[in-house]
Amino acid sequence: MRLKINQRFSKKLLAQVKYIAEDKPEAAAKFYADVLKSLQELKQFPLKHRQSIYAEDENVRDLIFKGYTITYRINYAESCIEVFSLLKHQKS
């Protein structure tokens, strides 16, 4: 399977990396690299993560990564994984 990263996800990820880099540039670079590594692992194990709590579709999954939720869809018809959302848990 190939990885298809949505433009909205890319923008949110880069914004988060910039925010982290304001205080800790090295941590921001590591965070970015670790996110990309986790996304690459989806190619081999697309069903590894839980079904999304945001959708009632078993092909929509949530990858939990350091307090962030990365939501993706497994598209079997196109043989790809579509990454489309990055959310940060916020306390009420």
Q: What is the pLDDT of residues 21-74, one digit of tens each?
A: 999 999 999 999 999 999 999 999 999 999 999 999 999 999 999 999 999 999
Residue 82 confidence (pLDDT) above 90: yes
Q: In angstroms, how far is CA 72 from the centroid of its own chain?
A: 7
d(Cα 89, Cα 70) in Å, to the nearest integer? 11
Q: What is the pLDDT of residues 1-13, one digit of tens each?
A: 899 999 999 999 9
Tell me, what's the pLDDT at 90? 61
Domains of the chain: 2-88 (3.30.2310.20)
* pTM (two decimals): 0.89
Tell me, what's the pLDDT at 6? 95
